[in-house]
A and B are shown apart, each in its own frame.
Chain A
Amino acid sequence: MNKPVIEVADATKTFMVSAGFMRGKMPLHAVNGVSVEVQQGEVLGIVGESGCGKTTLARMMLGLLDPTSGAIKVNGQPVHEVDRLEVARQLQPIFQDPYSSLNPRKSIGDIVTLPLKVQGDPDPGTWKSRAEEMMELVGLPRRVYNNYPSQLSGGQRQRVAIARALINRPQIVICDEPTSALDVSVQSQILNLLQDLRKEFGLTYIIISHNLAVVEHMATRVAVMYLGRIVEQADTESLFSSPKHPYTEALLGSVLTPEPGLGVPDTHLGAAYPNPIDPPSGCTFHPRCAKVMDRCSKQFPPIIPTKGGFVECHLYADDVKPGKVATTRRRTAAAKAKTGRAATVRKTTRKRTSASKGK
């Protein structure tokens, strides 16, 4: 039986931010009661728009931020109580921007051997050879050992960051937008490398990205975040083939694949991402939702188990009868599309209800 390597239980992170000139400070719930488990050897993808709290969640898992409430455990031990070096041995990050994640004043050799130095590795004589071995593994020529980050290309720098993260052989790697600062051709190289390293070292990945194509390609399970909460979680197959939450649907709908002739999809999402200081009542997604109902603005949505995970949405509540799926938005242009959608929703809802009744 697999044991979870990371357990996040009802974690919340609240920042106090200034609400405006002379208006004092307001709480901002960057992460708002998130629970998620990561099993040994799996790849969890976390997707969501900027400001949804995915990076804050990652920083809490790394122990760089303490949760305001809730608990985060790595291998059964709470992250913020364990010795930092102990956590660092098990868990390493790879950041988005290889231009800012490497200290420009340090040579590549210094950067890659820093983890060994910090951990007080007992064998300084082998540092250089181990670093070079690691560099070769991630596809960096040995000769750049004495070079500086400014002398390398973006892809090479990201390889240095990967070498630094892996030299102490951690179990878990948290990749925060690992390829979004890179060119397409380099992106695929880094993704391939991450796949190879995962096989080689049996790594567990958490991949945070706004690029759904990348997450679909890499992840075994996906969590969709919206305004500090995970609104849907499922294995990659189910999530991409039959998204449940309207937000997930909209996200998938806005992926632009290089297939000509399909045109730009209309996501029917309202323009504005809500202000996280003043989130909408009830389901925080309701102002943008195409399938909004009366209760959405009043009650928090229930958490409903699905085939591969769960979804947090009123649409799938037991007592929502097909007839009650009414749309309150009055956009004539979208009306036609919506009736078509409502029908499909009705179908899935019925399936859903009958399935849960069957249990």
Chain B
Amino acid sequence: MVERILEVERLSVDIQVPAGMLRAVQGIDFHVDRGETLCIVGESGCGKSITALSLMNLLPSSAIRSANKLELDGQDIRNLDERKMSDLRGDRIAMIFQEPMTSLNPAYTIGNQLEEAMLRHRNVSRSEARDRAVFLLEKVGITGARGRLKQYPHQLSGGLRQRVMIAMSLMCGPDLIIADEPTTALDVTIQAQILHLLADLQREFNMSLILITHDLGIVARVADRVAVMYAGEFVETGSADEVFNRPSHPYTQGLLNCIPIPGKTKRGAHLGAIPGIVPSLIGYMEGCHFASRCQFAQDDCLRGDIAFRDAAKGGHEYRCVLSPAETARNIKKASAA
């Protein structure tokens, strides 16, 4: 029996901006089981980071969150007050941010920050917390962990800082880690190491991971399940295998065609492109959000709410007016042209 760690239904985030109401997230549904990795992938401005912040209730004050269901391990966290929520943060849910330099406090030592992360939530002595910090620093592959405790964040390289951030997020043994672009600021070789590490730790501690990224390469390698986000909505969800091998939404297909793959894409050939740009999310938008850029768009795309449909059994769904058969035909036509 799988244990459901997070269950989200109709999550929406509206942000008041001078030009009007920015509908950053528009009713998304998802869930994460224990030990599972869910990747939310999308381009900048699609609402993926806002989604992460809204789960942690760390949204700016101008934002309004609403949801039909927001349950962490069966507990409704929609109406928790700030004090109860901050008890959860760092304890049951932890977050890893993109820029490790700004998410560590430069005025305190690594050790201090790691210990505080535990002392805040657990009734333990400082020396117990220190032991845990050393244990975790070694776990994340930092050598000479005891000596590192006395160092300040600026004495570490970007890769090491991100390892420290990961260790910090693990201090209380959370059920769920939300990682928002954890490797975007890092070099490719370091990125591979950090992702490897995250996957290892996740298996070892049987945690759930929500990884938010724009990099389809990372998603393909790390995810159990994928949610492709576009303009505030999920447009396709399913297992990584299904989504990458049988992309069904025109946006997912377009994205995958944009990336050159060494050894597969013909060198120097034209890459696929998605014309146009992301629509403004201010105000109400009817129909499919991708219609303005979609090469298969038809009149039906502009009416009402486009429903999810099954691409295959096992939870591979996409939000499009085209049936799987039509989609397959379109792909064939496009590749022939």
Spell out A's residues near B (CB within 8 Å). 49-50, 153, 155, 183-185, 187-189, 191-192, 195, 210-214, 216-218, 236, 240, 250-267, 269, 271-273
Contacts and interface: CB of A to CB of B under 8 A. Distances in A.
Contacts of B157: 272-273
Contacts of B291: none
Nearest to B159: A271
Residue of A183, A216, A236, A269 with most partner-chain B CB within 10 A: A183
B244 A260 contact: yes
B323 interface: no
Nearest to A181: B44
A132 to B, nearest CB: 21
A216 B262 contact: yes
B272 interface: yes
Contact of B222 (A212, A254, A264, A271): A264
B245 A214 contact: no
Contact of B188 (A188, A210, A259): A210
Given A240-B262, A259-B244, A271-B160, A185 B192 contact: no
Nearest to B257: A188
Contacts of A255: 188, 217, 262
Contact of B220 (A195, A212, A250, A258): A258
Given A183-B43, A185-B258, A258 B216 contact: yes
Contact of A258 (B190, B195, B219, B271): B219
Nearest to A236: B267
A188 B272 contact: yes
Residue of B216, B217, B243, B245 with most partner-chain A CB within 10 A: B217
Residue of A251, A253, A271 with most partner-chain B CB within 10 A: A271
B261 A257 contact: yes
Given A184-B43, A192-B271, A269-B189, A264 B196 contact: yes
Contact of B199 (A240, A262, A264): A264
B220 A257 contact: yes
Kindly list the 5 A-B residue pairs having the minimum CB-CB distance in the complex, ordered from nearest: A256-B217, A217-B260, A188-B258, A254-B192, A188-B271
Contacts of A266: 192-193, 196
Contacts of B271: 188, 191-192, 217
Nearest to A52: B187
B145 to A, nearest CB: 13
Contacts of A153: 277
Contacts of A265: 192, 196
A271 B193 contact: yes
A340 B162 CA distance: 31
A249 to B, nearest CB: 11
A49 B241 CA distance: 30
A266 B193 CA distance: 7
B240 interface: yes
14 contacts: A49-B190, A185-B254, A188-B259, A191-B260, A212-B188, A257-B217, A258-B261, A262-B221, A264-B222, A269-B193, A271-B143, A271-B163, A273-B159, A273-B190
A215 to B, nearest CB: 9
Interface string B223-263: 10000000000000000110111000000001111111111
B86 interface: no
Contacts of B105: none
Nearest to B254: A185
Contact of B244 (A185, A240, A258): A258
A185 B274 contact: yes
B273 interface: yes
A258 B259 contact: yes
B268 interface: yes
Contacts of A213: 217, 259-262
Contacts of A269: 189, 193
A60 B241 CA distance: 46
B265 interface: yes
Contacts of A49: 187-190
Nearest to A272: B157
A273 B271 CA distance: 33
Nearest to A216: B262
B267 A216 contact: yes
A256 B260 contact: no
A240 B217 contact: no
Contact of B259 (A184, A195, A261, A271): A184
Nearest to B274: A185
Contacts of B214: 183-184
Interface string B114-158: 000000000000000000000000000111000000000000010
Given A185-B274, A254-B189, A260-B243, 18 more contacts: A50-B187, A183-B43, A183-B44, A184-B255, A184-B259, A185-B43, A213-B259, A216-B260, A250-B189, A259-B220, A261-B241, A262-B221, A264-B192, A266-B196, A267-B189, A269-B193, A273-B159, A273-B187
A217 B270 CA distance: 10
Given A50-B187, A188-B271, A271-B159, A256 B192 contact: yes
A188 B163 CA distance: 32
A213 B223 CA distance: 21
Contacts of A192: 270-271, 273
B66 interface: no
Contacts of A256: 191-192, 195, 215, 217-218, 220-221
A127 B222 CA distance: 51
Contacts of B219: 258
Contacts of A195: 268, 270
Contacts of B160: 271-272
